[in-house]
Amino acid sequence: MLSTIQTWLKSSVFEVQAYVLLLMAAVRSIVSPPYYRRDVILQFEAIGIGSLTVVALTGFFTGAALALQTGQSLDRFGARTLVGQLVSASMIRELGPVLTALMLAGRVGSGIAAELGSMTVTDQINALRALGTDPIRKLVVPRVLAVTFMAPVLTVLADAFAITAGWLISVTQLGVGSGTYWNSVLDGLYLGDAWQGLIKPVVLGFVIGTVGCHVGLRTTGGTQGVGRATTNSVVVASVLVIAVDFFLTPLMMKVLY
């Protein structure tokens, strides 16, 4: 029993050590040449443009549901007109960054882990190294940069779709006037909310990218291992997204307001 716990602890410590080493190598490679510009652009396109639909849909339906739910609750206090404020504040400060990040963990993080995992088990990563290419610069940096910088863009898009869906529901289902809704959306927002809505996705995107790369590059065990790596990447990144958001929120509230 003790040896099982020891083995688990040891492997956990090694895993964290390997992740930290990857983070350091990635940061070092981001700030020093050579750069693979073409790969960076390709990843921005694949990760950013490729995720537009899923993020837009997530934002739209979340905003719509939020408007319906909060409209009903606000009715009890005779404050139905504040529905815009509630939708915008919850989406921009919290739900937008977290839901977009969870979608990216599922779509992008898993893709990165599966792609790098397949390359690892088929010796393509070793082949890259043998050909004199640093896999961190060639594969990790473009992916991490793309998720980190596309996450805030996608979050803004999700927020916009959510607020628009909230307007649609407010006008059609809740009987709130268009002008009232939009005034309420703007009234409920502070500059700190906008910063929070932009900074959080950057951090969460970085977590998703680095976790996907770390898990992918440490894949072992053939095609079964690739499947395991993909699942692990989604699970770890999703849990980390929620945990990191929890720790970031009070920090940002202290700094930004």
Q: How far is the CB of 22 from another protein (least distance, A)?
A: 14
In Å, what is the CA distance from 138 to each residue of 48, 141, 236? Answer: 18, 7, 24
CA distance linking residue 118 with residue 154, whole number of Å: 27
78: left (phi over 0), alpha (psi -120 to 50) or beta: left
Tell me, rounded to whole angstroms, the distance of Cα 18 from its chain centroid: 22
Q: How far is the CB of 59 from another protein (least distance, A)?
A: 31
Of 49 and 127, which has the nearer Cβ to another protein?
127
Would you tell me which residues interact with another protein (CB under 8 A)? 118-119, 122-124, 126-134
Task: For residue 210, give every residue at least 6 positions away whose Cβ sits within 8 Å of its Cβ, in sequence order, or none.
Answer: 19, 22, 23, 26, 140, 144
Of 75 and 123, which has the nearer Cβ to another protein?
123
Q: How far is the CB of 27 from another protein (least distance, A)?
A: 16
Q: How far is the CB of 127 from another protein (least distance, A)?
A: 4
Of 118 and 184, which has the nearer Cβ to another protein?
118
Asked if residues 59 and 162 have their Cβ atoms less than 8 Å apart, the reply is yes
Asked if residues 63 and 165 have their Cβ atoms less than 8 Å apart, the reply is yes
Within 10 angstroms of residue 145's Cβ, the number of other Cβ atoms is: 21
Q: How far is the CB of 122 from another protein (least distance, A)?
A: 6
In the chain, DSSP finds a helix count (H) and a strand count (E) of: 12, 0
Q: What share of the chain is helix, strand, coil (3-state, %, to 5)?
A: 90, 0, 10
Q: How far is the CB of 123 from another protein (least distance, A)?
A: 4
Q: Where are the beta strands (DSSP E) in the chain?
A: none
Q: How far is the CB of 35 from another protein (least distance, A)?
A: 13
Of 29 and 232, which has the nearer Cβ to another protein?
29
Of 125 and 169, which has the nearer Cβ to another protein?
125
Of 15 and 134, which has the nearer Cβ to another protein?
134
The owner of tokens 């770890």 is 236
Of 67 and 119, which has the nearer Cβ to another protein?
119
Asked if residues 95 and 191 have their Cβ atoms less than 8 Å apart, the reply is no
